[in-house]
A and B are shown apart, each in its own frame.
Chain A
Amino acid sequence: GAVVSQHPSRVICKSGTSVKIECRSLDFQATTMFWYRQFPKKSLMLMATSNEGSKATYEQGVEKDKFLINHASLTLSTLTVTSAHPEDSSFYICSASVGANQPQHFGDGTRLSIL
């Protein structure tokens, strides 16, 4: 089945550091990928829709200059958390689907901890 790989799985870094997270579709091409964030004991919240070859679409309240998204190829989207602060500590998960009406498959997630 469709597999989505996310890397790294865990990041611990100092405040002010920028962190890049990669999301890859391993056996299919994904023109669209999604980035979610999940705080402890809360639901996944959509941050942005990553579109191959064009700008990402951000959800209300998500700062595009803070969370930079690049979708340079049909199998790779990256999320960069710029100048991360402790309040950015969260579980970040990407997803992609084979087609518009197909279920989405999730990456393993990245647990980000900012000290």
Chain B
Amino acid sequence: RKEVEQDPGPFNVPEGATVAFNCTYSNSASQSFFWYRQDCRKEPKLLMSVYSSGNEDGRFTAQLNRASQYISLLIRDSKLSDSATYLCVVRGTGRRALTFGSGTRLQVQP
């Protein structure tokens, strides 16, 4: 079983749509959670950290359910510029390196 699992997609949605990505992780001792965004042939860029209380940054909302070991990302009012691969990322206890999911590809269409 992979440490971090994501639906690879692609998710093809029209501009203005709301889209949700899910992610599960296997290590219950994981401490920190993030969503990164990666454009084609580019490095990952931090989108947002994910907290148990849930957090929102503009059109983006992230949720963490520790009991279910489940992380989600909601994007409202999708823009063309949101097209990218979204990586679910987890960091374990006492370990600074990150474990990446394989990513979910989003294509927002005009």
Contacts and interface: CB of A to CB of B under 8 A. Distances in A.
B41 A111 contact: yes
B1 to A, nearest CB: 15
A68 interface: no
Contact of B44 (A44, A101, A111): A44
A77 interface: no
Contact of B99 (A46, A100, A103): A46
Contacts, number: 46
Nearest to B31: A101
Which of A32, A95, A104, A105 has the largest count of B CB atoms less than 10 A from its CB?
A: A104
Interface residues of B, number: 19
A91 B40 CA distance: 12
28 contacts: A6-B43, A34-B96, A34-B97, A36-B100, A43-B87, A43-B100, A43-B102, A43-B103, A44-B87, A44-B98, A46-B98, A49-B96, A49-B97, A93-B43, A93-B44, A95-B98, A97-B96, A100-B96, A101-B31, A101-B32, A103-B34, A103-B49, A104-B46, A106-B43, A106-B44, A107-B43, A108-B42, A108-B43
